[in-house]
């Protein structure tokens, strides 16, 4: 028995609209899954970069600390060099002044300069010449001045003059 005038068509399990919706849902799920994978990949990449940058930063901090130590060391070396230069300049001027102080009649054979003392070896025509021309200026400069004379065969005197500056700290 037939109750219909038309022949029935095949009925699909899922209609066209549902197929479109299911296709759209599958497309969105695949898109979201791909987007999730991309974000995870970027996060891993950024984490690796962060670790590398942290290592670079720590290396730079070590280099900066080393350079700062080098700067401090070089400043100390510069300061010492300047002190030595100033000391050498003062010593040079002192030696020049010493030789300017020595009169033409007195001949020096050896000069020993230390921090707080000056020892002169030389020849003078007489004790008085030494005492008046060189001994007096030395006594005005140094706190302790002792001179020993030795008579030569030619009548001139060899002398050793030991002159010291006495510091309160040294106790001399």
In CATH terms, the fold of domain 105-172 is Gyrase A; domain 2 (3.30.1360)
pLDDT band, very low/low/confident/very high, at 88 (cuts 50, 70, 90)? confident
Query: Which position has the higher pLDDT, 148 or 91?
Result: 148
5-33 residue pLDDT tens: 787 778 788 888 999 999 999 999 999 99
Distance CA 45, CA 40 (A): 9
Model confidence at 161: pLDDT above 90: yes
Domain boundaries, the chain: 16-101, 105-172
Model confidence at 136: pLDDT above 80: yes
Q: What is the DSSP string of 101-141?
A: HS-TT-EEEEEEE-SSEEEEEEEES-HHHHIIIIIHHHHHH
Q: Which of 86-90, 91-95, 133-137, 167-171 has the lowest mean pLDDT?
A: 167-171
Model confidence at 170: pLDDT above 60: no
Model confidence at 171: pLDDT above 60: no
Model confidence at 66: pLDDT above 90: yes
Model confidence at 169: pLDDT above 70: no
């Amino acid at each position: 028995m037939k109750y219909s005038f038309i022949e029935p068509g095949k009925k699909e399990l899922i209609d066209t609209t549902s197929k479109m919706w299911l296709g759209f849902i599958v497309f969105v799920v695949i898109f979201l899954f791909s987007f999730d994978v991309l974000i995870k990949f970027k996060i891993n990449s950024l984490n690796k970069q962060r670790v590398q940058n942290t290592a670079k930063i720590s290396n730079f901090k070590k280099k900066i600390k080393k350079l700062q130590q080098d700067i401090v060391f070089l400043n100390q070396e510069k300061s010492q060099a300047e002190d030595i230069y100033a000391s050498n300049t003062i010593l040079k001027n002192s030696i020049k002044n010493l030789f300017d102080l020595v009169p033409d009649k007195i001949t020096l054979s050896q000069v020993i300069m230390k921090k707080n003392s000056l020892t002169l070896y030389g020849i003078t025509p007489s004790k008085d010449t030494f005492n008046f021309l060189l001994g007096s200026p030395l006594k005005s400069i140094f706190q302790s001045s002792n001179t020993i004379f030795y008579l030569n065969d030619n009548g001139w005197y060899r002398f050793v003059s030991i002159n010291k500056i006495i510091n309160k700290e040294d106790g001399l």
